[in-house]
Amino acid sequence: MATLVTGGAGYIGSHMVHALVDRGETVVVLDDLSTGFEAVLPDAATLVVGDIGDEVLVGGLIASRGIDAIVHFAGSIVVPESVADPLKYYLNNTVKSRALIAAAVRGGVGAFLFSSTAAVYGEPTVDAPIGETVAPAPVSPYGWSKLMTEVMLRDAAAAHGLAYTVLRYFNVAGADPKGRTGQSTPNATHLIKIACQTALGQRAKMQVFGTDYPTPDGTCLRDYIHVTDLVEAHVLALARLRAGGGNLVANCGYGRGFSVREVVEAVRRVSGVDFVAEVVDRRPGDPSALVADSGLIRRELGWVPALDDLDGIVGNALAWEAALARRNSAPGAR
């Protein structure tokens, strides 16, 4: 058996590649390296530089590499950018996913695991935690582009017998505790990464987008999940699919939220640096609160988070940012 990991040189994808290699699995990574980095991949993984929308390429990999499972991370992920350039998101996240699913169906791939998002819920009317029975209602092209892929998987499964699991992420943060990989994109928009970069002096200041939300301190509330815990959920989901488990759509989060201000204070506390966090206007497409009801994934997968601690998440993220800065400043770095 071999697993094809799309976007495997990216943030979450590279953590999954390490987790699979650690378990002795054969892993093929398909990544165009537009936001991914070969340097974060383990030597045991095979990297193919290419486009997930290239059905001929994907079909050839499935046939030649004995691919029995696809874990699909590749895509564009910045909500405000999706509002400004929606067609980019419908191409990268929807059209190309359609091509990938078609190649999987033709190649007889038995398991398909898809990286989705809590953005499919939009601005939920429920007060707290959001369960999978809440009707999707995206408020951004990013959320719609992911939901469309979920629908394609549902329909392909009904028509062709493709077995799939959709994991809807809440806010992924942190880095590999062993220091092998982390969020490496310089202009990434993840709050904890930005706050860590500011604490380390890589940014003069950071911005807090809006303080007039209907939350306890007026800033957006999010469910931050350590990337290692998230990847463990993927490993369990993949094992379940391979064992003949049914199709599943499940949230990935801890079930409690932290506000932007609480995250900023955590980074200040862990780093020991009192950096500038400038308050500015809201960004388009940001719901006030997104917190997961994680009961389903815990029941179905037996998932038990091991790193549910905001200061620990921040500590791993800070360590990665410091290591990344050293690597990027080394002679010959690019």
* Segment 276-309, tens digit of pLDDT: 999 999 987 688 888 999 999 999 999 999 999 9
Q: Which of 9-18, 53-62, 118-127, 195-204 has the lowest mean pLDDT?
A: 118-127
Question: Mean per-residue pLDDT for 28-38?
Answer: 96
| CA–CA distance, 218 with 36 (Å, rounded to integer) | 34
DSSP 211-270: S-SSSTTSS-EE-EEEHHHHHHHHHHHHHHHHTTPPPEEEEES-S--EEHHHHHHHHHHH
- Which of 11, 121, 142, 164 is catalytic? The answer is 142
pLDDT, tens digit, 9 for 90 and up, residues 312-334:
999 999 999 999 988 877 665 55
Predicted local distance difference test score (pLDDT) of residue 288 = 87
Collapse the DSSP code of 50 into the 3-class scheme (helix H, G, I; strand E, B; otherwise coil) and give the result: coil
For residue 224, indicate whether it is catalytic.
Answer: no
Q: Reply yes or no on whether the pLDDT at 126 is more than 80.
A: no
Question: Mean per-residue pLDDT for 188-200?
Answer: 93
Q: Reply yes or no on whether the pLDDT at 125 is more than 90.
A: no
User: In CATH, what number does 2-174+225-252 get?
Assistant: 3.40.50.720
Cα 90 to Cα 85, 204, 284: the distances in Å are: 9, 34, 18
Residues in the chain: 334
Predicted local distance difference test score (pLDDT) of residue 2 = 97
| Residue extent(s) of CATH 3.40.50.720 domains in the chain | 2-174+225-252
pTM: 0.94
Find the distance separating the first CA and the last CA of the chain, reported in whole Å: 35
| Residue extent(s) of CATH 3.90.25.10 domains in the chain | 191-221+255-329
The correct CATH number of 191-221+255-329 out of 3.30.420.60, 3.90.25.10, 3.90.550.10, 3.40.50.300 is 3.90.25.10
Strands in 258-259's sheet, in edge-to-edge order, are 258-259, 221-222, 289-290
Cα 75 to Cα 43, 211, 266, 276: the distances in Å are: 24, 30, 30, 32
User: What are the backbone dihedrals phi and psi of residue 153, each rounded to the nearest 5 degrees, phi first?
Assistant: -65, -45
Q: Reply yes or no on whether the pLDDT at 187 is more than 80.
A: no
Residue 207's nearest CA partner among 216, 313, 266, 198 is: 198
